[in-house]
DNA sequence: CCGATGACTGTTTTT
DNA sequence: CAGTCATCGG
């Protein structure tokens, strides 16, 4: 016990040993948040205050859940079995499987990931003959998810105008379709569980009594519905409610776009009359130069709960800043720098390359690849999202649940078997009249379409029957053969990688089975013969995108978006693409709220670094197939000059209509020296009249500072397009507009 | 009904 | 640029 609490600082100790009351822990980056959370659980159990089964711990990602279980396993002599640890979605899935009847679902319901959901919506619009120009599927998806997160079923949505009314109508149709097909999307997992607990008193009471301590990680990223869900579970039951301990950092809230409500932190404090608010502000991760930069940046945000990170580790190295001509130059420079670091004995796994959006990884990957540096990309298209895997899963889904029309539509003609659009249309019309799933409709059909479809149906039925006694990997192997998927990819010229992935699916299944057996044999007694294990595997595939990327063990440079870097830390961090429009992203720049979220994202990125931080940007960048010229990010200007060291001489930056500009606006530091590696500016851009060129900074009397991004015409008709930052993008006639080189 | 070809269009971040 | 979608000729 004393060992458990050793080496905690006073605030951490206080948090770990709080009495069983509600508490809010404001935990800054690198302040030992995860440690506090796990130690708290271990302490509660070890001191006999609670049985493991009385613990409910909610994490943000599956990875975090796994890590927490692993740490607990190492801390506790007893197995952490009986505890519920997982993501909101994972826990809801578990609850719905256990109480599927009360929730109005078949036991083997399927889970739609975002892409499946979008496909389902498109299919719905098609069958209803709705104009998808007027109701863009993506927008409709957003609308539906938003309503679900607000707890609104279609009848509860307030709709005054026609447009909203129609969308509500579609929402309703979508729900009916999902129910018919026994599928559940992400938001539905949460809402369905919430309604189950709310309406079913015995079940609610059962869990309210069971869970004595509810611990929530990354609380700043919970959405409204998740918060209500927590309130319901922690509400005062007969025995008094659970103690709710929420850990979060409002400065690291980066999922507003997905419905996260930082406001939950304030609401929690108020509604639960939280007496215990503890701030963890000592950072054990980074040197103070890095921390001071992060603090300086985040100070530009308003509406913070307030918190200041500090460290006693000393200043450390200055933050290195590099300006490149083009994105390819930026990538080349990063790779050269990495080679130097590796020569100096650094391990590649301790070097991270962060970027704002996934598209940016291509250039970096390209350079790394040609330099022969092992690297690993997180995120991007994940294993279970690859098309060959989705196809295989669709067959599996049909075995588990033939009414899954999304799965049916996906593979009914893949590999092609002579069932074309016309047949599908006939089938869909029939399904609508009989009000049955596509699968169940097939026997009703006669004629040509009926025969081909009948053959498909028989194949699926054979699969269902033949696979009953097989183990999961055997089952999948059988399906890959019988469906023709394997043959299809064998004959495809670029199919070898896909074949490998299909084999990898077998491995994933084998691992899944092994883990399940090792994990909790007593959790839910698997009913044999019902393909129960298959359903569990499919849920696993939907909920956990799967880290089946490159070799985990290899010493490889780590590439990921800033979002997926949250919670991780590295000795060396490169943050690339620090340009206006990219980071902060152009879609977020106009809204104050959006910009603040970008800044929090920047804060997250900076605080990932332990020892060394590189920030870089490029004057020009390929995006959407064309070259764009961006100003350097305002976030760079927000870092006090004394903390930085420019590796390239900074060029003057066009001002941004005054929104920022703190930090004194001084770009040079005393230690800045012209980099020896600086190349001559390349004559990359054609000259324009008046000695101007594309990419050049200019000033205009009315619009202020800007940069030339394009030109057209000639002679007296010559025009240039200038990006004036917050003053907008303008086309100017050179003969008329007075532009001075800046 | 199938596959190929070309136009178009869009991208932030993810459980 | 790259993935999706529509159109066209077999």
- pLDDT interval class at A530 (50, 70, 90): low
CA atoms within 13 A on the CB side of A713: 12
pLDDT at A697 exceeding the cut of 70? yes
- DSSP character at residue A346: -
The pLDDT of residue A546 is 60
Contacts of A139 (CB under 8 A, 6+ apart): none
Of the ranges A209-213, A288-292, A697-701, which one carries the lowest mean pLDDT score? A697-701
Type and span of the H or E element at A731: strand A729-733
Query: Which tokens hold the place of A450?
Result: 């009926």
A608 is catalytic: yes
pLDDT band at A90 (very low <50, low <70, confident <90, very high): very high
A539-578: pLDDT as tens digits: 888 887 765 444 556 788 999 999 989 989 999 999 999 9
Instruction: Pick out residues 671-690 of chain A having their CB under 7 A from any atom of nucleic acid strand C.
Output: none
Amino acid A681: pLDDT: 31
Q: Which of A252, A607, A619, A669 is catalytic?
A: A252
Distance separating alpha carbons of residues A650 and A671, to the nearest angstrom:
13
pLDDT of residue A359: 86
Q: What is the pLDDT confidence band of residue A694, given thresholds at 50, 70 and 90?
A: low
> Cβ of residue A362 near strand C, that is under 7 Å?
yes
Least confidently predicted of A101-115, A378-392, A475-489, A706-720: A706-720
Q: Residue A447's CB: how many other CB atoms inside 10 A?
A: 9
Mark the nucleotides of strand C covered by protein, meaning any atom under 7 Å from a CB: 1-2, 5
Protein residue minimizing CA–C1' distance to B3: A416
| A417 CA, C10 C1': Å apart | 18
**Nearest Cα to Cα of residue A599 among A657, A664, A659:** A659
Nucleotides of B strand lying within 7 Å of any protein CB atom: 1-3, 9-15
When pLDDT is cut at 50, 70 and 90, the band that residue A698 belongs to is: confident
Q: Is A186 exposed, middle or buried (0-12, 13-18, 19+ CB in 10 A)?
A: buried
Q: Is the CB of A211 under 7 A from strand B?
A: no
Strand duo A644-646 + A319-326: pairing: parallel
Residue A407 has pLDDT above 80, yes or no: yes
* Active-site residue flag, A34: yes
How sure is the predictor about A676, in pLDDT bands with cuts at 50, 70 and 90?
very low
Query: Is residue A78 pLDDT above 80, yes or no?
Result: no
Is strand B less than 7 A from the beta carbon of A484?
A: no
pLDDT tier at A205, thresholds 50, 70, 90: very high
Is there a catalytic annotation at residue A3? no
- CA A92/CA A230 separation, integer angstroms: 12
Number of helices followed by number of strands (H, E) in chain A = 28, 21
- Report, in angstroms and rounded to the nearest whole number, the Rg of chain A calculated over CA atoms: 28
- Catalytic option among A113, A217, A251, A477: A217
* DSSP letters spanning A247-260: EE-GGG---GGGTB
Q: Model confidence over A586-595: pLDDT tens digits?
A: 888 888 888 9
Strand B atom within 7 Å of A587 CB: yes
Q: What is the mean pLDDT of residues A52-74?
A: 89
Does A491 contact strand B, using a CB cutoff of 7 Å?
no
- pLDDT of A683 > 80? The answer is no
From the Cβ of A358, is strand B under 7 Å away? yes
Q: For residue A465, what pLDDT is reported? A: 87
pLDDT confidence bin for A105, thresholds 50/70/90: very high
Average pLDDT, chain A: 84
Q: How far apart are CA A645 and CA A465, in angstroms?
A: 68
Q: Is A678 a catalytic residue?
A: no
- pLDDT for A2: 65
Rounded to an integer, what distance in angstroms lies between the CA atom of residue A155 and that of residue A172?
8
Residue A375 reports pLDDT greater than 90:
no
What pLDDT sits at residue A572? 96
Q: Kindly determine whether the C-beta of residue A180 is less than 7 Å away from any atom of nucleic acid strand C.
A: no
Q: Exposed/middle/buried for A163, CB within 10 Å: 0-12, 13-18, 19+? A: exposed
HEC per residue, A60-81: CCHHHHHHHHHHHHHHCCCCCC
* Average pLDDT of the segment spanning A118-133: 83
pLDDT score of A684: 32
Which band of pLDDT confidence, cut at 50, 70 and 90, is reported for residue A689? low
**Given this model, what pLDDT does residue A303 score?**
83
- Residue A505 confidence class, pLDDT cut points 50, 70, 90: confident
A33 catalytically annotated: yes
Comparing A79-83, A353-357, A568-572, A681-685, the range with the smallest average pLDDT is: A681-685
The pLDDT of residue A522 is above 90: no
Q: What is the mean pLDDT of residues A579-608?
A: 91
> Could you read off the pLDDT of A17-39 as tens digits, one per residue?
999 999 999 999 999 999 999 99
Banded model confidence at residue A738, pLDDT cuts 50, 70, 90 = confident
Under 8 Å CB-to-CB from A693, ≥6 apart: which residues? A685, A686, A687, A708
- Alpha-carbon span A456 to A478, nearest angstrom: 16
Q: What is the pLDDT of residues A237-276, one digit of tens each?
A: 556 789 999 999 999 999 988 889 999 999 999 999 999 9
Full DSSP string of A36-51: HHHHHHHHHHHTTSS-
Coil, helix or strand for A568? Answer: coil
C-alpha A246/C-alpha A217 separation (Å) is 6
Q: Which nucleotide is nearest to A381 (CA to C1')?
A: B14
Q: A532: which 2 tokens?
A: 């129960």
Catalytic residue among A256, A608, A621, A628: A608
Strand C-proximal residues of A, range 116-145, CB below 7 A, are 122
Which candidate in A218, A249, A544, A596 is catalytic?
Answer: A218
Determine whether A24 is exposed, middle or buried from the number of CB atoms within 10 Å of its CB (0-12, 13-18, 19+). buried
The mean pLDDT value for A83-109 works out to 93
- Asked about A161 being catalytic, the answer comes back as no
Token pair recorded at residue A259: 């419905």
A422 Cβ within 7 A of any nucleic strand C atom? no
CB A546 within 8 A of CB A508: yes
- Per-residue confidence band for A77, with pLDDT thresholds at 50, 70 and 90: confident
A138-180 confidence digits (pLDDT tens): 888 989 999 999 999 999 998 888 888 988 999 999 999 899 8
What is the reported pLDDT for A9?
92
Q: Which residue ranges of A make up the annotated binding site for ATP?
A: 27-34
Q: Which of A351-365, A457-471, A494-508 has the lowest mean pLDDT?
A: A494-508
Binding positions of A are 27-34
The per-residue pLDDT for A89 is 94
Tens digits of per-residue pLDDT, A320-334? 999 998 898 999 999
Tally Cβ neighbours within 10 Å of residue A359: 15
Helix (H, G, I), strand (E, B) or coil at A366: helix
**A276 DSSP β-pair partners:** A23
Give the confidence band of A665 by pLDDT, cuts at 50, 70, 90: very low
- Is the distance between the Cβ of A622 and the closest atom of strand C smaller than 7 Å? yes
């Amino acid at each position: 016990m004393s060992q458990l609490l050793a080496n905690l600082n006073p605030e951490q100790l206080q948090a770990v040993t709080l009495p069983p009351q509600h508490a809010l822990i404001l935990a800054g980056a690198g302040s030992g948040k995860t440690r506090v959370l796990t130690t708290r659980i271990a302490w509660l159990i070890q001191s006999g205050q609670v049985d493991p089964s009385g613990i409910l711990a909610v994490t943000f990602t599956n990875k975090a859940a796994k890590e927490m279980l692993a740490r607990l396993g190492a801390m506790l002599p007893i197995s952490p079995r009986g505890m519920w640890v997982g993501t909101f979605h994972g826990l809801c899935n578990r609850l719905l499987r256990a109480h599927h009847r009360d929730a109005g679902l078949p036991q083997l319901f399927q889970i739609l990931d975002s892409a499946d959901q979008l496909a389902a919506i498109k299919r719905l619009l098609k069958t209803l003959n709705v104009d998808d120009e007027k109701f863009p599927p993506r927008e409709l998806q957003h609308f539906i998810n938003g309503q679900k997160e607000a707890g609104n079923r279609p009848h509860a949505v307030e709709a005054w105008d026609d447009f909203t009314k129609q969308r509500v109508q579609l929402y309703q149709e979508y729900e009916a379709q999902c129910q018919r097909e026994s599928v559940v999307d992400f938001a539905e997992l949460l809402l369905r569980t919430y309604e189950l607990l709310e309406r079913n008193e015995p079940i609610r009471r059962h869990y309210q009594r069971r869970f004595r301590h509810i611990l929530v990680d990354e609380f700043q990223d919970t959405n409204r519905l998740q918060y209500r869900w927590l309130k319901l579970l922690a509400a005062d039951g007969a025995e008094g409610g659970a103690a709710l301990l929420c850990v979060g950092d409002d400065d690291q809230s980066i999922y507003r776009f997905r419905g996260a409500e930082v406001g939950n932190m304030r609401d929690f404090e108020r509604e639960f009359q939280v007496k215990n608010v503890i701030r963890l502000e000592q950072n054990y991760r980074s040197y103070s130069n890095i921390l001071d930069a992060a603090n300086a940046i985040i100070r530009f945000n308003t509406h913070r709960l307030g918190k200041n990170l500090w460290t006693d580790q000393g200043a450390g190295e200055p933050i290195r800043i590099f300006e490149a001509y083009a994105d390819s130059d930026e990538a080349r420079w990063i790779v050269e720098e990495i080679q130097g670091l590796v020569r100096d004995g650094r391990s590649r796994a301790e070097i991270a390359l962060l970027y704002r959006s996934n598209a940016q990884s291509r250039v970096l990957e390209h350079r790394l690849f040609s330099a022969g540096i092992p690297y690993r990309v997180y995120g991007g298209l994940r294993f279970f999202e690859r098309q060959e895997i989705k196809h295989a899963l669709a067959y599996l889904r049909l075995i588990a649940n033939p009414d899954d029309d999304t799965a049916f539509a996906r593979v009914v003609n893949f590999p092609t078997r002579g069932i074309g659009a016309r047949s599908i249309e006939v089938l869909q019309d029939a399904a609508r009249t009989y009000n049955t799933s596509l699968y169940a409709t097939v026997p009703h059909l006669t004629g040509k379409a009926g025969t081909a479809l009948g053959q498909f149906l028989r194949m699926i039925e054979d699969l269902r029957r033949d696979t009953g006694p097989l183990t999961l990997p055997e089952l999948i192997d059988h399906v890959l053969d019988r469906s023709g998927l394997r043959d299809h990819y064998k004959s495809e010229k670029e199919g070898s990688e896909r074949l490998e992935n299909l084999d990898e699916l077998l491995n994933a299944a084998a691992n899944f089975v092994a883990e399940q057996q090792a994990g909790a044999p007593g959790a839910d007694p698997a009913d044999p013969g019902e393909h129960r294990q298959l359903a569990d595997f499919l849920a696993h595939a939907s909920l956990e995108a799967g880290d089946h990327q490159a070799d985990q063990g290899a010493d490889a440079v780590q590439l990921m978006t800033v979002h997926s870097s949250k919670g991780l830390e590295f000795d060396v961090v490169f943050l690339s693409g620090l340009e206006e429009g990219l980071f902060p992203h152009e879609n977020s720049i106009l809204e104050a709220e959006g910009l603040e979220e970008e800044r929090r994202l920047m804060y997250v990125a900076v605080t990932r670094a332990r020892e060394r931080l590189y920030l870089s940007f490029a004057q020009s960048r390929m995006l959407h197939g064309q070259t764009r010229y961006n100003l350097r990010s305002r976030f760079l200007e927000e870092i006090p000059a004394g903390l930085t060291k420019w590796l390239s001489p900074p060029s003057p930056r066009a001002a941004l209509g005054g929104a920022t500009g703190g930090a004194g606006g001084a770009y040079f530091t005393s230690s800045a020296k012209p980099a020896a590696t600086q190349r001559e500016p390349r004559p990359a851009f054609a000259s324009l009249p008046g000695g101007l060129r594309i990419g050049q900074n200019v000033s205009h009397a009315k619009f202020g500072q800007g940069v030339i991004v394009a030109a057209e015409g000639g002679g007296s008709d010559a025009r240039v397009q200038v990006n004036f930052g917050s003053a907008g993008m303008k086309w100017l006639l050179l003969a008329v507009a007075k532009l001075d080189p800046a």
